[in-house]
């Protein structure tokens, strides 16, 4: 059946006013025709048709009662309807920017995600490059320090044994000579554990301790004797030992426990200009305590929370060898013995490390 109704274009023309009066077309019918034309033009946007009183300018009727005018910001001119010309029609269209933005939302979101992905990949690449450089610098420094630590006990053994080598025939060893030889053997044995200490420090697994009963007092006296004679980074310290424990023997992993204390003494000598190291063994609050106090450069408060991290070294301290793994190793050894280690330090005023092991 042929459509007897005019199109919206016919109705909006001034010379078709008679058709509007005669056909009795409602505003909703005009809205349907207008929507049909919009869809035909592939325009999909919200709109409102308004019937206007041309004398007063008031809205007589609209296709969307109670609409918000701020939403429909684009308006057409008012076209006169009917023979008398007392009414007109006006179209309000939704802001096209909002419509375009809604249609582009998926594209914008996907583009933003792609951009963030590219930024993340770039940041990851830069981080990887910086980490590789850091590890490369650490490797070179560790090779240098490792060579130094190997040469240090070798020089000690050489200097200690050289007088015995030059001794005349028939020379009888004194108790002092035997003590020096014992310290040399002990020093070489400790050196053999250096590689394992490095591995333990870097590993995330706890240290496998093997407790035995040994004479702690004797070990502390030997450490004091060794480092009163052995240079560390070219400096010989003065080690003062105060042994106040009620018993001389303890049960612990001898190699690792003594190695942890030795590490603290070496650090005290290394980071002091004129090293004086106070080593004190005592009991407090149900704990066996071993404190190592130096008169060195101290540790600034901002670094104190990081000193037990693996490979952490204070860059402000120059001309000091090491791997940045010693204190990490000490902490792991003490934790393996169910103990704790505390630090008290003031920059330029020295440091004091205290090992606390529960007395069982």
Question: From residue 315, how far is each of 140, 206, 299, 318, 322 by CA, in Å?
Answer: 16, 28, 12, 7, 12
Q: pLDDT by residue (tens digit) across 11-44?
A: 455 445 555 655 566 778 778 878 888 778 777 7
- pLDDT of res. 45: 76
Q: What is the pLDDT of residues 115-127, one digit of tens each?
A: 999 999 999 999 9
Please report, for the chain, the start and end positions of each structural domain, with discontinuous segments joined by +. Answer: 8-94, 193-358
Q: From CA 67, how far away is CA 86, in angstroms rounded?
A: 24
CA distance 240 to 227: 10
Pairing of strands 47-53, 351-358: unpaired
pLDDT, tens digit, 9 for 90 and up, residues 72-99: 777 888 877 766 778 888 888 877 676 6
pLDDT level of residue 250 (50, 70, 90 thresholds): very high
Instruction: Check residue 209 and give its pLDDT.
Output: 84
Residue 247's pLDDT is what? Answer: 94
Residue 182 binned pLDDT confidence (cut-offs 50, 70, 90):
confident
What are 295-321's pLDDT values in tens digits? 999 998 888 888 888 777 766 555 556
3-state per-residue secondary structure call for 256-301 = HHHHHHHHHHHHHHHCCCCCEEEEEEEEECCEEEEEEECCCCCCCH
The token pair that represents 310 in the structure block: 């693996």
Q: Residue 1: which pLDDT band, with cuts at 50, 70 and 90?
A: very low
Q: pLDDT tens digits for 266-293?
A: 899 988 889 999 999 999 999 999 999 9
The whole-number pLDDT of residue 14 equals 46
| Separation of alpha carbons 349 and 337, rounded Å | 30
Considering the domain 193-358, what is its CATH architecture?
A: 2-Layer Sandwich (3.30)
Average per-residue pLDDT for the chain: 78
């Amino acid at each position: 059946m042929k459509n007897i109704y005019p199109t919206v274009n016919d109705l909006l023309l001034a010379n078709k006013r008679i058709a509007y009066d005669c056909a009795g077309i409602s505003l909703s019918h005009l809205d349907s025709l207008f929507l049909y034309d919009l869809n035909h033009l592939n325009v999909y946007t919200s709109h409102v048709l308004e019937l206007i009183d041309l004398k007063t300018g008031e809205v007589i009727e609209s296709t969307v009662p109670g609409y918000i005018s701020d939403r429909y910001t684009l308006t057409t001119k008012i076209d006169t309807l009917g023979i008398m010309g007392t009414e007109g029609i006006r179209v309000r269209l939704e802001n096209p920017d909002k419509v375009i933005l809604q249609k582009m939302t998926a594209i914008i979101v996907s583009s933003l995600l792609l951009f963030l992905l590219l930024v993340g990949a770039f940041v990851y690449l830069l981080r990887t490059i910086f980490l590789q450089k850091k590890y490369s610098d650490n490797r070179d420094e560790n090779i240098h320090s490792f060579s130094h630590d190997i040469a240090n006990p070798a020089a000690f053994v050489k200097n200690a044994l050289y007088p015995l080598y030059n001794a005349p025939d028939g020379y009888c060893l004194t108790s002092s000579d035997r003590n020096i030889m014992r310290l040399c053997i002990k020093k070489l044995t400790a050196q053999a554990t250096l590689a394992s200490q490095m591995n333990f420090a870097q590993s995330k697994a706890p240290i496998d301790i093997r407790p035995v009963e040994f004479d702690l007092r004797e070990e502390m006296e030997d450490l004091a004797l060794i480092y009163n004679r052995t240079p560390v980074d070219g400096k010989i310290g003065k080690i003062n030992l105060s042994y106040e424990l009620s018993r001389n023997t303890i049960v612990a992993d001898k190699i690792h426990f003594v190695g942890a204390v030795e590490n603290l003494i070496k650090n005290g000598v290394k980071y002091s200009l004129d090293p004086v190291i106070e080593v004190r063994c005592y009991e407090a609050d149900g704990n066996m305590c071993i404190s190592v106090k130096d008169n060195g450069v101290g540790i600034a408060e901002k670094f104190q929370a990081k000193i037990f991290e693996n490979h952490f070294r204070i860059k402000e301290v120059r001309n000091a060898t090491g791997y940045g793994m010693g204190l990490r190793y000490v902490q792991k050894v003490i934790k393996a013995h169910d103990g704790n280690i505390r630090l008290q330090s003031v920059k330029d005023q020295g440091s004091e490390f205290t090992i606390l092991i529960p007395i069982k």
